[in-house]
Structure formats: structure tokens, C-alpha cells
Amino acid sequence: MVKGFKNASELDFTILSNKEAMLQAFAQVDKEKGQEYPLIIGGRRVTTEEKITSIAPATKEVLGKVSSCGKELADEAIRCAHEAFKTWSKVPAEERICCVRRLVELMDKERYILDAWSVEESGKNWGEADGELCEALDFFNSYIMHTRELDKGLELVDSEEATKCIYTPIGVGVAIPPWNFPLSLLAGMAIGAVITGNTVVCKPSSDTPIVAYKFVELCERAGFPAGVISFIPGSGSAIGDFIVQHPLTRFVNFTGSKVVGLRINKMAAEVSEGQKWIKRVVAEMGGKNAIIVDSSADLKRAASGIANSAFSFQGQKCSACSRAIVMSDVYDEFVEEIAACAEELKKEQGSGRDNLGMGPVINKAAFESITGYIEIARKEGNIVAGGKYDDTEGFYIEPTVVRDITRDARIANEEIFGPVLAVIKVESFDEALEIANDTEYGLTGSVYTEDRANIQKAKTEFHVGNLYFNRKSTGAVVLQHPFGGFNMSGTDAKTGTRDYLTNFLNLKSVCEDLTY
């Protein structure tokens, strides 16, 4: 067990003082709406003519405009980071840790306003937004602990010579986080790199750039020197390829789609003129996650857990369940239970500001993609709950359950990234495992069962990075469920762990002959 570490506690919004503080934060957000935000390059604010418009998915309201970075400024950001690395890499670990500790204090102080901006910009409810902030704090505190361990170096066997292995930072990194966790994943990516002595250039999602700006601004206030963390929002087509291919880029940390992740991996493998190293890529790319329900399972519990896995944050998590694989003798009863759960969630759909169970999907493109899959589902199976959608005021889609889906159906194989659940019938546990593994992904999975033999079988034969039993497949907690997937789900970099930090470090073996 890890000693001396405690996960951050989420706020209880049934407590009146917490609720009032959140409402005051929304009032502050309302005052800030419509502002413009610059790039942050080497500590300098840079405004550009081209802007990224941040839209609230719940209302389609313009939240603000953020300067969009081009290649020339992206090059400047990387070169500033390269210069900053020359000094930051020599700063003692405890001094770097002090900056992270101040950041923890600042984020806790600004907790409600950060939560409110996450609600507005990404469409989360209050609990989801605060849970994300807690995850960021957990990342920071775990990385503080692991950095101290790594600073001691690697233990070696006794020798007549003076020998040791020391970890050294490697250089400039590029962090490309997704829109669905705009605070915690950006925070984890950036701080994991800089606490180990590297510098990082952050290119946030164009859907959630304001939350990212607020975070980078807090990093400055925490005392990170100019150039250690830069903020360069911009489209992938404008600067994405450029910053990945830049000869001074040492590593790329990406979370997003498989298509973009594979493109980054391919580009990073190509050596640019003037490049002196093999670039490292840390990638988390998605999933087509399955939950198995066998004949011995508690069906009400299974339905509740699967509904949570499939529909929380509108299914917009790479860990979300999109396939329920159910034994034939309990199939019909399970379908009734999961349909009832979905129908209940429909009653709780609305703006994240209203703190309901379900909110909007992130943008128009996501809305059109997900609703396109719902229309495919009508042809491939039978919709027993949900299936309706409306983008009149915001991008709202009902939690949708589709039964009678075959294993080769499109909605059983393609990542939808929305509140759509395919329910597949099987005749045996072996068949269930076969179908669960019949995907190019391997991120999360779960099994609802009271059969110990099935649990043991799944532990070795269900091939995913995060496997659960008798609980939902989402909600990984730092240092309780280290997160990362197999196959096309990514490089299995378990976030929050000591191993994760070694992606940004070289290991130098040092030996001195003391007889000389």
C-alpha cells in the first residue's frame, strides 16, 4: 500500500455554504463572459487577430474569445521553453516541488471559480467538475511524492566502485489534452513534465481553452518561471503537426482520438533536420468498453452501474461503457432494468449550471456524429429507451439503450463517444469474453458476477488496462486505479504513478573508480 497519500475529497453541494459559494462563482463567471484571452509565451501575453470562440454547449452562448496561435508564435514558444529548460532542469527537486505545492494551494483557493468555468465550458454538472479538480490535486500530490523518490536515483548492488543511477529531465514537451477533462488532464500532463525538470508547451482543445488559460495563469502565480509552461491554443491543422515535428520537441503527451494519436505517433517517429533524439510519445486514445453481465449477477446493481458508466457526462469519457454483453437467460430482465435507469436519467437532463444528472454534449460536430449513430442504431437493433435529441438551445441527446445488437453491428464496434449503449446477447461466459475482446481497443472493462470462477477467468482473459468487478468501468481514482489502456487505446502510461513520470526522464548510470 502507498503510505502518506490521501486522495482529495469532493465538495458536498448539499451543504448550503458550498452551494452558495458555487452560485457566487457562477455570478463571477457571468461577469467575465465575453472577455478575450491572450497566448502565454515565455511569460509574455501575446494577442493575435485570429480568435478561437468558446461556446457554452448547454446554451450556445459565447463565453469568450481566445487568441489563436500560428506557426511563428508556436516556434517562439518552443524556443522559449528550450531556453527555460537550461535553467529549470538544474533547479533542485524540492524547489520544483514548492511551486507545485503553491499551485495546490491556489487551486484549492480558486476551487469554486474553476469548477464553475468547467461547468460552463465543458457541460459538466457540479459534482463532475469538482471531481475533475480533485483528480488534478491528486495528480499533483502523487507527483510530489514520486518526484522525491526518483530524486534519490535507482538503487544498485554493492560495488567496489562508486556507482549510482540518476534520473535527469529530457527537455521540451508538448502537451495536447482533450476537451472532456480540460483541467485535470492538462494539469496532470503539464505538471508531470515540469515537476521532473522539463518544460512544456500546452496546446489545449479549442472547445475548452478558457479553463486551460485559467490553469496556466495559476501556474504563473505559483511561481513557475517564464517559459516553463506556455499556453498556445490553436487548431491542429495550424500548429498541431508543427509542434510535434519541431526539432526541439523532446516528447509529446497526447490524449484524444485514435486517428490523431496515431498521426502524432507517426510524425514523432520521423527525424526532423537538426533533431538529436528519438522523440517519446505518451498517448491515451479511446476505447470501445464492454461490461459483462452473467447469470449470477445482481441485475439491479448491474443496470445501475452500467447506466452510470454509459451515461455519466453524457458518455463522453474514453472509459465509458458502450457495450453491455449479457447472458441470454437474464437478457430480457436486464434490458428492462437498464431501460428504466435511462428513462429516469432523462428526467434529470439540462444545463450543468442546474446541477442535473445529464447535460449537453460538447459541440455541434459531436451532436451530429452521435445522433447519426442513433439513426444507425434504429436500423441495427431496437431502441428501448431514449433515442431523441434536440439542439434548439444546447446540444442535448437522451440516454439511449439499444437491444438486439449483433457483435458485428457498427454501434457495437465503432467508438461513439456519447450516451448510446448497445446491449448484446450471449450464450456463455466464454462467448462474452470473446466479444468483449473483439475490438482494437483495450481501455476499461467490468464484469458483474457472483461466480468466483468467472472472476478468475476474466482477470487473465479480459484484455484491458483497467478491469473492474461488480462496479462501474469509469471513475478511476489516482493511485487507487492507475489509468491507461492496451492496444489502440494507447501506450498504457499509468497516470498518477511513478512509472508515468519516467516517460519524461532519462536514467544516467554513473560510475567512479575510487582507486585512481
Report CA torsion sign: 295, 299, 305, 310. Answer: positive
Rounded distance between C-alpha atoms, residue 466 and residue 476, angstroms: 8
How many degrees, rounded to 5, is the angle at CA 182 between CA 177 and CA 185?
55
Rounded distance between C-alpha atoms, residue 47 and residue 270, angstroms: 32
Helix (H) or strand (E) holding 474: none
Cα–Cα distance list, 512 to 80, 368, 509, 515 (Å): 36, 64, 10, 9
Round to the nearest angstrom and report the end-to-end CA distance of the chain: 44
* Chain centre distance of CA 316: 10
Rounded distance between C-alpha atoms, residue 93 and residue 146, angstroms: 11
Backbone angles phi, psi at 272, to 5 degrees: -85, 160
441 within 8 A of 289, measured Cβ to Cβ: yes
Q: Which of 181, 184, 178 is nearest to 258 (CA)?
A: 178
What's the order of all strands across the beta sheet hosting 44-46?
A: 44-46, 39-41, 229-231, 199-202, 172-176, 249-255, 280-284
Bridge-partner residues for 272, per DSSP? none
Q: Show the cell assigned to 149.
A: 523518490
Rounded distance between C-alpha atoms, residue 257 and residue 279, angstroms: 20
Specify the long-range contacts of residues 340-344, CB closer than 8 Å, at least 24 apart: 340/303, 340/385, 341/303, 341/304, 341/306, 341/307, 342/307, 342/311, 342/385, 342/386, 342/398, 342/399, 342/400, 342/401, 342/421, 343/385, 343/386
Strand ranges, E, within 329-438: 382-385, 389-390, 396-397, 400-403, 420-426
Place of cell 437498464: 338
196 within 8 A of 499, measured Cβ to Cβ: no
Beta strand 321-327 with 289-293: parallel, antiparallel or unpaired? Answer: parallel
Report CA torsion sign: 314, 317, 321, 322. Answer: positive
Write out the DSSP string of 259-286: HHHHHHHHHHHSPPTT--SPPEEEEE--
Helix (H, G, I), strand (E, B) or coil at 311: helix
Residues designated as active site? 284, 318
Place of cell 444546447: 394
